[in-house]
Amino acid sequence: MRADRLVATLLLMQSRGRVTAAELAGELEVSVATARRDLEALSAAGIPVYPQAGRGGGWSLVGGARTDLSGLSATEAQALFLLVGPAAAVSGEAKAALRKLVRALPQTFRADAEAAADATMIDPTRWGERDRRRPELVDLLQAAVVRRRKVRLTYAGSTRERTERLIDPWGLVDKDDIWYLIAGTERGQRTFRLDRIIAAEPTDQAAERPDDFTLAAAWEQVVGEVERRRSRTWATVIIEARFVPVLRTHFGRHCHADGELDHGRVRVRLAAPTPLDIARNLAGWGSMIEVVEPRSVQAELARIGAELAGRYAAER
């Protein structure tokens, strides 16, 4: 029995006052027998839910009992609103939800929670860039994930060849302003970039999702695989220690200081997909950086240097 379905049942009863098992089954897309078992489970768990037989009957909360967020501590409430607050600035739905959450909190927590909601805002646009807009597909795919409906995609892969496929949408991830859809396919779990989706059409077919699926774990697996591909070539370089933070901005997690040398220099390990990728990032440093190994990166740097010398020496 799913805890989220029991919570949905309780909130539905709270909003309507009284429901029948048939109405509940229709709302939650389960069988009438399952809805009835859920109602009985709530009653057995001590929730004041009871049935009324006869015409106009159904299941009700005793005395109009209501759920609240009184189980939260003051620090938990503040943490919740620190997270939700920035989203409310850009979403009408989030703002409405925030107001309802405030009313659900114990009176003594409300002032601090409202202050926490207004304490932070998020501006995802970098200096000099235009405002970033969320892709229109996000709302459509989010609805399909929540409703658990299959989606028919027209997708252009890295080779730009278009394919059509019927997928089970499992979750969406926004990473560095690029949106990804994690979905189930005939070949198992796959990740799709939203900017490569040509068309998406929700269907009425129920989507399947593994019982043990969690979006966080699935995304961690995706990130791990991508980072492994991004670190296929490693190089050892020597540079002044004060420049290591600059290298980290280019190579991220694939930049590791590997020991101090004389005259304030350090040995650093760098990684990228290919020797050329490393060389392109290091070429601008000139003689300020020394590539110890591998030879393939040294060769790419020599080639780039020769190209530049040949082009600009001829223009003197």
Which of the residue ranges 30-34, 70-74, 130-134, 155-159 would you say has the lowest mean pLDDT?
70-74
Q: How confident is the model at residue 106 (pLDDT cuts 50, 70, 90)?
A: low
pLDDT at 67 over 80: no
Mean predicted confidence (pLDDT) in 160-183: 89
> Pick the residue with more confidence: 55 or 143?
143
> Pick the residue with more confidence: 105 or 187?
187
Mean predicted confidence (pLDDT) in 157-175: 88
> Pick the residue with more confidence: 206 or 135?
206
Cα(298)–Cα(279) distance, integer angstroms: 8
pLDDT at 89 over 70: no
Mean predicted confidence (pLDDT) in 179-206: 93
pLDDT (tens digit per residue) in 227-252: 888 899 999 999 999 999 999 988 98
pLDDT at 41 over 60: yes
pLDDT at 295 over 90: yes
> Pick the residue with more confidence: 51 or 154?
154
pLDDT at 287 over 70: yes
Q: How confident is the model at residue 304 (pLDDT cuts 50, 70, 90)?
A: very high
pLDDT at 179 over 60: yes
Mean predicted confidence (pLDDT) in 162-169: 93
* pLDDT reported for residue 176: 75
